[in-house]
């Protein structure tokens, strides 16, 4: 398979947006017909389809091909088609206008270099129109042409057109935007779409297609510094092969590049192309496989950037975001952030201003409702390599994920670089700072119970499950401790006390560093466990009684210890020759004689997440 995909015939990407039923799909259908972009026989099939439904020729059926769309009369997805104007070729994204499908509209607009706003001359500027314009400003779509549609229904009144043009100019001006052209059209009849027509002698401006042809082209992504998000890393003998799609710039054999985060530098040894001649370079839009001249560690989510103009390594972002989930976004909430191929947990530190898209006013808030727009500050769990949207749009915008679904999108307005200054000693992080970075507080789950009750098994399962939920946890197992740190201790009462004390001190250090330490230790003496609680601290210590009766534990006897104790070959064995003092008020009791491992683990994890949430 070729490692480098050819760049498609370049087309000027335009998104069509507007309020539901303002005629977007009809307009695109008319454009396709009037520019001669339809295949032979398509209009005849369109007439037949329209007649079958008792309608006149319905241009929107060209795009609304999904049965759901035809039955409900609304566009639910972003359809992409091509046509050629007099000046250039266009890729048109017909984006939904219905509020329920705003998510899809954002997907289309994010790819666009310009936008056509379709506005019903009778209905005028509504909430969705303002919201779409605001989203276009968020996504950096600066070139806008307005098509005031259905002018035939408004009697082609010049006064109505002038009033709408003035209203739009005021709103766009408040956003720092302006319409390149405002064109009166009738999409159904074709007036002023491609040809002028005689319906409005008072209008002397360009047709819609002429207005599009006159729009400036932004600098091509290839003119920007190199940005190659790493999608995957493969081994080719002793070499690492970094693969991904170039989002900006160009990569050339011999170029010096930086791998971010981390800043490790290397030169491009070659671009791999299996089974054919190796190319010397590749540009934005192409997928590549890069081999560096140094064996530097790389992983998915890093960015290969131009060494002379690298991305910023940042952990704190100032963003503008739009929220699409039905459940509001709240200050302090943790979500998953995806940017390029990178993914990390992020905390919403502040919703600094929720923006009223009608009045264009802003005010701080504790939450952001569905379809809301806000300026916010995000704190990432780990630094990512990224740019502001002004520096590089492709690596300056991403999405927020909740419950494995895209719940919102954002653009990066400013970043706080994650600098490490050599020679300086950083101040120790306090518990609140660690909790903010980790997304949870440090703490100790102390699992006590007889040998064979299931402490180590449940502890190991809990650590794995906590890790899958983004909680940093580790296991301190009694047997492992006695093979290392506590190998000098026996099983006399004073040795048992010291065994618990050392384990508690270790657990406290781990909790101080922000981890959840899961301690699996028989710890049979209640007073010793009380001392462990004192060492760790009452607020971050949770005692869990892994309760299985002696008969059950002896029947399991996973290490053969009970058999040895019964044969008097093992002295001071808890439960046989040494007593076990069961907790009287444990934070959680798990009867492992009756509970399944899965249910016991679930309860243990529930306790941990509730106790140590930040």
State the Cα–Cα distance between residues 452 and 353, nearest whole angstrom.
56
Please choose, from the candidates 98, 87, 79, 100, the residue with its C-alpha nearest in 3D space to the C-alpha of residue 27. Answer: 79
Question: Do 217 and 233 contact (CB within 8 A), yes or no?
Answer: no
Which residues are designated catalytic? 523
Q: Render 108-146 in DSSP notation, one character per residue.
A: HHTT-SEEEEEEETTT-S-HHHHHHHHHHHHTT--EEEE
Look up tokens 């929720």; give the residue.
Answer: 354
Which residues lie below 8 Å from residue 39, measured CB to CB, with a gap of 6+?
Answer: none
Cα torsion angle, 543, 547, 553, 557, sign: negative
Q: CA–CA separation, 145 vs 182, rounded Å?
A: 6
Token reading at 251: 């990569």
CA distances from 352 to 65, 318, 368, 369, 508 (A): 42, 10, 10, 14, 36
Do residues 606 and 464 touch, judged by C-beta distance below 8 A?
no
d(CA 367, CA 331): 6
* Neighbour count for residue 192 (Cβ, 10 Å): 26
Residue 308: exposure state from Cβ atoms within 10 A (0-12, 13-18, ≥19): exposed
Partnered with residue 446 across adjacent β-strands are 519, 543
């Amino acid at each position: 398979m070729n490692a480098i995909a050819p760049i498609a015939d370049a087309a000027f990407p335009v998104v069509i947006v507007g309020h539901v039923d303002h005629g977007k799909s009809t307009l695109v259908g008319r454009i396709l017909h009037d520019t001669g972009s339809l295949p032979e026989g398509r209009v005849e099939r369109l007439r037949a389809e329209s007649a079958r439904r008792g309608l006149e020729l319905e241009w929107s059926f060209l795009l609304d091909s999904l049965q759901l769309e035809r039955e409900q009369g609304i566009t639910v997805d972003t359809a992409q088609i091509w046509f050629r104007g007099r000046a250039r070729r266009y890729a048109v994204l017909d984006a939904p206008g219905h509020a329920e499908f705003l998510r899809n509209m954002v997907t289309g607009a994010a790819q666009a270099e310009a936008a056509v706003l379709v506005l019903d001359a009778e209905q005028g500027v509504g909430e969705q129109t303002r919201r779409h314009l605001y989203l276009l400003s968020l996504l950096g779509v600066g070139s806008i042409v307005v098509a005031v549609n259905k002018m035939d229904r408004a009697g082609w009144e010049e006064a109505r057109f002038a009033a709408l043009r003035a209203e739009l100019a005021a709103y766009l001006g408040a956003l720092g935007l302006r319409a390149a052209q405002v064109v009166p059209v009738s999409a159904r009849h074709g007036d002023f779409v491609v040809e002028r027509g005689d319906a409005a002698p008072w209008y002397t401006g360009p047709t819609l297609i002429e207005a599009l042809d006159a729009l400036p082209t932004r600098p091509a992504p290839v003119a920007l510094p190199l940005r190659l998000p790493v999608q995957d890393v493969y081994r080719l003998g002793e070499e690492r092969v970094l693969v991904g799609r170039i989002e900006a710039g160009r990569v050339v054999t011999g170029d010096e590049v930086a791998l971010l985060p981390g800043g490790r530098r290397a030169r491009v040894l070659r671009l791999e192309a299996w089974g054919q001649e190796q190319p010397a370079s590749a540009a934005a839009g192409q997928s590549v496989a890069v081999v560096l001249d140094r064996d530097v560690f790389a992983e998915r989510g890093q960015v290969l950037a131009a060494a002379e103009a690298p991305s910023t390594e940042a952990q704190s972002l100032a963003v503008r975001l739009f929220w699409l989930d039905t459940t509001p976004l709240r200050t302090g909430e943790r979500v998953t952030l995806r940017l390029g191929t990178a993914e990390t947990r992020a905390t919403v530190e502040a919703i600094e201003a929720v923006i009223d898209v009608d009045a264009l006013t802003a005010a701080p808030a504790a939450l952001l409702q569905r379809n809301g727009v806000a300026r916010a500050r995000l704190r990432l769990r780990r630094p990512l390599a990224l740019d502001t949207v002004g520096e590089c749009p492709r690596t300056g915008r991403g999405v927020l994920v909740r419950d494995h679904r895209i719940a919102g999108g954002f653009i990066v307005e400013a970043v706080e670089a994650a600098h490490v200054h050599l020679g300086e000693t950083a101040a120790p992080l306090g518990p609140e700072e660690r909790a903010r970075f980790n997304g949870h507080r440090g703490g100790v789950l102390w699992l006590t119970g007889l040998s064979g009750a299931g402490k180590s098994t449940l502890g190991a399962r809990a650590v794995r499950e906590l890790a899958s939920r983004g909680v940093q946890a580790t296991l301190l197992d009694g047997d492992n401790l006695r093979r290392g740190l506590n190998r000098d201790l026996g099983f006399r009462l004073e040795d048992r006390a010291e065994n618990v004390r050392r384990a508690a001190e270790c657990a406290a250090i781990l909790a101080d560093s922000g981890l959840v330490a899961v301690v699996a230790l028989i710890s049979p003496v209640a007073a010793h466990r009380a001392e462990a609680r004192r060492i760790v601290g009452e607020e971050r210590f949770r005692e869990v009684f892994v309760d299985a009766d002696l008969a059950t534990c002896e029947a399991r006897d996973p290490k053969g210890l009970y058999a040895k104790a019964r044969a008097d070959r093992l002295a001071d064995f808890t439960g046989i020759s040494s007593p076990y003092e069961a907790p009287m008020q444990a934070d959680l009791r798990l009867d492992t004689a009756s509970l399944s491992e899965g249910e016991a683990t679930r309860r243990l994890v529930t306790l941990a997440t509730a106790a140590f949430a930040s």
